[in-house]
Amino acid sequence: MSELDADKLSHDLRQSWQAIIDENQRLAAQVDFAPVAALVPLLQHAKRVFVVGAGRTGLALKATAMRLMHLGLTVFVVGETTTPAIGAGDLLLAGSGSGTTSTIVKAAEKAKAAGAQVVAISTTADSPLAALATLVVVLPAAQKQDHGGTISQQYAGSLFEQSVLLLTDAIFQTLWALDGTPAEELWKRHANLE
């Protein structure tokens, strides 16, 4: 690769990075944080927290599960071999941009039937998942099949997936501030079999 090509590539990468940051900032300015605030006590008082999402949303929620575990919450990722049955007093945190992903909707149906509360993180409050939820947090991002580019120039559901991670990190930061446990104590729960 020539130096000119490397310079152009560096410029293009910087522009892509900035476009992603800008889209996330615009989305954050549009989020209604009242439902997010209502989620905080649900997490604090849940007997156990279960997270479920497909694809990159699922990966973002796995990262969320890790941070909630660092706070001392009992957290499980749906689909893992050691995840127990959900029941009354538990909370299912379910992420689906469309709110129609069949595996996520089925998990929410089962959780609700078992007496657990369901919280949906989605791009819409009008979906099968939202209908099952005690609380819906709407992230006004493009859905995977929205190829028009009016909400996001990024591929598929990238903006939604990124915003799920950023939102749940903000929830963690807020819970941590309320909890007051020093970082050194949280670190003791960090995985040591890496």
- pLDDT on residue 28: 96
The model carries a pTM of: 0.93
Q: What backbone phi and psi angles, to 5 degrees, belong to 14?
A: -65, -40
Q: Domain 3-187 class?
A: alpha beta
Q: Is 3 a catalytic residue?
A: no
Active-site residue (options: 3, 23, 80, 161):
161
For residue 111, pLDDT over 80 is answered with yes
- Say if CB 144 and CB 123 are below 8 A apart: no
Residue-averaged pLDDT of the chain: 94
135's torsion region: left (phi>0), alpha (psi -120 to 50) or beta?
A: beta
Q: What is the pLDDT confidence band of residue 152, given thresholds at 50, 70 and 90?
A: confident
